[in-house]
Amino acid sequence: MKFDRAAGQNPIDQLHVVGHPLDRIDGRFKTTGTAPYAYERHDVVPHQAYGYIIGSAVAKGRITRMDVARAKAAPGVLAIVTTLDMPALKNGPMNTAKLFGGPEITHYHQATAIVVAETFEQARAAAALIETEYDHDEGQFDLKQAQHAARPVQGANGSRADRVGDFERAFSASAMRLDETYTTPDQTHAMMEPHATLAAWEGEKLTLWTSNQMIAWTRRDIATALGLSKENVRVDSPYIGGGFGGKLFLRSDAVLAALGAKAAGRPVKVALTRPFIMNNTTHRSATIQHIRIGTDRDGRITAIAHESTSGNLPHGRPESAIDQTKLLYAGANRLTAMRLAVLDLPEGNAMRAPGEASGLMALEIAMDEMAERLRMDPVHFRILNDTQVDPEKPGRPFSQRHLVECLERGAEKFGWSHRKARPASVREGEWLIGMGVAAGFRNNLLTKSAARVRLDSQGIVTVETDMTDIGTGTYTILAQTAAEMMGVSIDQVRVVLGDSDFPVSAGSGGQWGANNSAAGVYAACVKLRESVAKKLGLPPAEAQFSGGNVHVGNRVFPLGQAAHEGELVAEDTIEYADVDKRYQQSTFASHFVEVGVNGFTGEVRIRRMLAVCSAGRILNPKTARNQVLGAMTMGSGAALMEELAVDTRRGFFVNHDLAGYEVPVHADIPHQDVIFLDEVDPLSSPMKAKGVGELGLCGVAAAIANAVYNATGVRIRDYPVTLDKHL
Ligand code: MOS
């Protein structure tokens, strides 16, 4: 089904089930430990063996020798596969670092071998007996040094920078100027469930029970890596203990479980250990961001420039930290540019809200600084510079944009009027108290998504799609969508997810999952409603679906009657036409934070947080709120503690566990509040919803940094805002 944005009302708008704060339908399975995660798929195939992966001890060079004799002879060992056993495997489009094969080493902890044994302990013990020798090359691991040799990456219009107007001239002519540099560190996803896969072969057919956000990408990429046809690969990932972008791609757990299973002639399961995940998989790359803003005397932005440099392997992309600056504020003269510094660190890739999460950490401090120079309230400064059209393409409006409402509602709810503009002017005992604000922005991506729905004679509706639930609430919102469309209660709906045998969905990434996958279920249900009406001999346009029945006038049929002669099945894909480009689709938020900073130790304590989100229709306020609370928590980590420490001599992340890589715990987060603006975006999809899971993160860290400044008067431009930086 092509989405027709002029279609107006549809059955979702009834909101009998959609839009209600229902509990997760999978909640009981998760809280009772009966939801099977990848490493727990004990029942799907017998004789499972255990794999243990080891990685390179050097960051750059090549392996000259691997001696596996002692490991092979160790108790319980069934097979060993080393990277010298095969040429480099082909990468699909999503992996920019080498996954396995051949002697070349391009980053620390690149997988070099898998040992398969009867038990996990035997596999691990044998792996320690493998002797590896390297030719070791010098590498570049220091972004600060490498930035000088960074190369420009083409902007959207194909040039080395995207320009509108004449930035330099407008900037030097502006009444007020800001010219500052901000840095963000490397970060890791730190999801609860590690990457894990159980692999089994039946002849040429491979099945992967895994933990992955994007089933279709992974099926395609493992087929490419192993030279299989896609039809011979099945990927199944029904439950996922967090991903945050780290599980968007095929990783070594899946590749090596498959290779190990082939070599051992047995199903093999592998979980990456936490210390291995940090360097073997991907991370969010550090950035150095140069921002210049010029305004007139009244505080209107006349010139804005955002240039960001970040590191990656030669085939990788820089962090696109400039994205929001293209769209968030007005201003006639604009410049955005990105540079890639080639580093020999592990692969940088997507982590929750890639681009905007890092970009807003810098831009929204810069906006705070500029407001202060103008002696203007930072909420007012942002409202003054709102734009209702794409500032790079003024003929192109936003489908909807309520940033001003987010700021105004938030300011009122948070008690912003009590904030003292002069920093360090509020004290409570030894604590300095401050408030900060930031805007949030993240794009709303529209991407096709398919689903299948079945109706049985009991009136039970089953939804099947390869869509995933990474903790986001997918099971529940898809059940709500099908229930609304078919006029049944939510307990009449079953949802089965994450299996590549099912129609290909949008997958879970880029906060596009909820809106697009629900729209796919909507499309399939439209078809199912037509077949139900046809079966019952009713005119489809007049059939009403409610209360488990189909009505036309005063004739009533139980829904299941349409399936009495056999199950009804319908499948469809929601698709969006190119005319969508006439509108800019984005989501908006405001973040308000109050902190206390200890006047003696510099310790920062968050006291209150508020997010106000403008993200179209909220399909389930409970699961959506949960997404935003988690995102605000993640943003607190980004602001105050998260940082992968780079060993710039040997080229790896040193703090590669959850003891050294700190993330917030409950005691760090005392009070959070979330408000969703009551809105629908009919230009987005038949669901009239948008994404919200990444929006909740965007801007949080800057609001915290700005609150710390308001508390102390010390401006910290290098994240994380740790106590050593303001003493
Ligand atoms: Mo997201 S970083 O696309 O999971």
Tell me what pLDDT residue 61 has.
Answer: 98
Tell me what pLDDT residue 96 has.
Answer: 79
In this structure, are 111 and 202 located in the same domain? yes
Question: Total structural domains in the chain?
Answer: 3
> Where is the domain boundary, 556, 575, 594?
575
In this structure, are 454 and 472 located in the same domain? yes
| ipTM of this complex | 0.96
Residue 272 CB partners (closer than 8 Å, separation 6+): 53, 194, 195, 196, 251, 252, 253, 280, 281
| Mean pLDDT across 168-178 | 98
The reply to whether 402 falls in a domain is yes
Cα–chain-centroid distance for residue 464?
Answer: 23
In this structure, are 608 and 726 located in the same domain? yes
In this structure, are 519 and 591 located in the same domain? no
Tell me what pLDDT residue 394 has.
Answer: 85
CA distance 682 to 6: 8
The percent of residues in the chain predicted with pLDDT above 70, rounded, is: 99
In this structure, are 589 and 722 located in the same domain? yes
- Beta carbon of 352 within 6 Å of any ligand 1 atom: yes
Tell me what pLDDT residue 190 has.
Answer: 96
Closest CA relative to residue 476, chosen from 514, 519, 503: 514
The per-residue pLDDT for range 35-63, each reduced to its tens digit, is 999 999 999 999 999 999 999 999 999 99
- Beta carbon of 350 within 6 Å of any ligand 1 atom: yes
- Given the CA of residue 694, which atom of ligand 1 is nearest to it? 1
The reply to whether 260 falls in a domain is yes
Testing ligand 1's pocket by substitution, the residue of 214, 248, 467 carrying the most ligand atoms inside 8 A of its CB is: 248
The per-residue pLDDT for range 362-409, each reduced to its tens digit, is 999 999 999 999 999 999 999 999 999 999 998 899 999 999 999 999
- Beta carbon of 245 within 6 Å of any ligand 1 atom: yes
> Where is the domain boundary, 212, 244, 277?
277
Catalytic annotation present for 694: yes
Task: Find the 7 Cα to ligand 1 centroid distance in Å.
Answer: 31
Task: Find the 448 Cα to ligand 1 centroid distance in Å.
Answer: 17
406 phi/psi in degrees, rounded to 5: -60, -45
Q: Given CA atoms 678, 682, 685, 691 in this order, what sign does their dihedral have?
A: negative
Task: Find the 355 Cα to ligand 1 centroid distance in Å.
Answer: 11
The per-residue pLDDT for range 578-619, each reduced to its tens digit, is 666 789 999 999 999 999 999 999 999 999 999 999 999 999
- Given the CA of residue 351, which atom of ligand 1 is nearest to it? 2
Tell me what pLDDT residue 326 has.
Answer: 96
Q: Give all strands of the β-sheet with 449-455 in edge-to-edge order.
A: 493-497, 461-465, 449-455, 568-574
- Beta carbon of 243 within 6 Å of any ligand 1 atom: yes
* Ramachandran quadrant class, 636 (left: phi over 0; alpha: psi -120 to 50; beta: rest): alpha
The residue ranking higher by pLDDT, 693 or 6, is 693
Please state whether the predicted TM-score (pTM) of the whole model is above 0.95: yes
Query: Is the peptide bond between 21 and the residue preceding it cis, with omega within 30 degrees of 0?
Result: no
pLDDT band of residue 469 (cuts 50, 70, 90) is: very high
Tell me what pLDDT residue 580 has.
Answer: 60
In this structure, are 597 and 508 located in the same domain? no
The reply to whether 188 falls in a domain is no
Closest CA relative to residue 59, chosen from 694, 712, 648: 648
Tell me what pLDDT residue 600 has.
Answer: 94
CA distance 434 to 710: 5
Tell me 560's DSSP state. G
- Given the CA of residue 244, which atom of ligand 1 is nearest to it? 4
Both tokens of 220, joined, read 């395609």
Testing ligand 1's pocket by substitution, the residue of 694, 697, 698 carrying the most ligand atoms inside 8 A of its CB is: 694
CB atoms within 10 A of CB 93: 10
Q: 154-178: b or e for each residue (b if 16 or more CB lie within 10 Å)?
A: ebeeeeebbbbeebeebbeebebeb
- Given the CA of residue 246, which atom of ligand 1 is nearest to it? 4
The reply to whether 565 falls in a domain is yes
The per-residue pLDDT for range 433-464, each reduced to its tens digit, is 999 999 999 999 999 999 999 999 999 999 99
Task: Find the 172 Cα to ligand 1 centroid distance in Å.
Answer: 38
The percent of residues in the chain predicted with pLDDT above 90, rounded, is: 96
Tell me what pLDDT residue 161 has.
Answer: 80
Length of the chain counted residue by residue: 727
Both tokens of 235, joined, read 């990927």
Tell me what pLDDT residue 581 has.
Answer: 78
pLDDT at residue 157 greater than cutoff 70 = no
In this structure, are 562 and 585 located in the same domain? no
The residue ranking higher by pLDDT, 158 or 718, is 718
Both tokens of 332, joined, read 């006639």
In this structure, are 220 and 102 located in the same domain? yes
Tell me what pLDDT residue 156 has.
Answer: 58
Residue 567: CATH number of its domain: 3.30.365.10
CA nearest ligand 1 atom 4, residue: 245
Task: Find the 508 Cα to ligand 1 centroid distance in Å.
Answer: 7
Tell me what pLDDT residue 595 has.
Answer: 98
Task: Find the 311 Cα to ligand 1 centroid distance in Å.
Answer: 19
| Mean pLDDT across 180-185 | 98
| 3-state DSSP of 448-502 | CEEEEEEECCCCCEEEEECCCCCCCCHHHHHHHHHHHHHCCCHHHEEEEECECCC
Q: Of the listed 347, 372, 464, 694, which one is catalytic?
A: 694
The per-residue pLDDT for range 208-217, each reduced to its tens digit, is 999 999 999 9
In this structure, are 544 and 642 located in the same domain? no
pLDDT at residue 577 greater than cutoff 90 = no
Task: Find the 693 Cα to ligand 1 centroid distance in Å.
Answer: 10
Answer yes or no: are the C-beta atoms of 352 and 512 closer than 8 Å. Answer: no
Report how far apart, in Å, the C-alpha atoms of 14 and of each of 20, 277, 481, 483 are.
11, 45, 11, 11
The per-residue pLDDT for range 633-670, each reduced to its tens digit, is 999 999 999 999 999 999 999 999 999 999 999 999 99
Strands 205-210 and 233-236, sheet pairing: parallel
- Beta carbon of 509 within 6 Å of any ligand 1 atom: yes
Closest CA relative to residue 95, chosen from 359, 280, 321: 280
Answer yes or no: are the C-beta atoms of 593 and 609 closer than 8 Å. Answer: yes
Testing ligand 1's pocket by substitution, the residue of 320, 352, 444 carrying the most ligand atoms inside 8 A of its CB is: 352
CA distance 342 to 353: 22
Task: Find the 694 Cα to ligand 1 centroid distance in Å.
Answer: 8
The reply to whether 359 falls in a domain is no
The reply to whether 287 falls in a domain is no
Q: Which domain holds residue 254?
A: 39-138+193-277
pLDDT band of residue 160 (cuts 50, 70, 90) is: confident
> Where is the domain boundary, 277, 296, 320?
277
In this structure, are 571 and 648 located in the same domain? no
List 197's β-bridge partners, or say none: 210, 270
The per-residue pLDDT for range 392-404, each reduced to its tens digit, is 998 899 999 999 9
The reply to whether 304 falls in a domain is no
- Given the CA of residue 510, which atom of ligand 1 is nearest to it? 3
Both tokens of 526, joined, read 């439209």
Ranges of H-type helices in 281-377: 356-373
In this structure, are 406 and 514 located in the same domain? no
Tell me what pLDDT residue 482 has.
Answer: 99
Report how far apart, in Å, the C-alpha atoms of 617 and of each of 352, 493, 686, 690 are.
21, 22, 10, 7
CA distance 393 to 383: 20
In this structure, are 440 and 453 located in the same domain? no
The reply to whether 148 falls in a domain is no
Tell me what pLDDT residue 590 has.
Answer: 98
| Mean pLDDT across 312-337 | 96
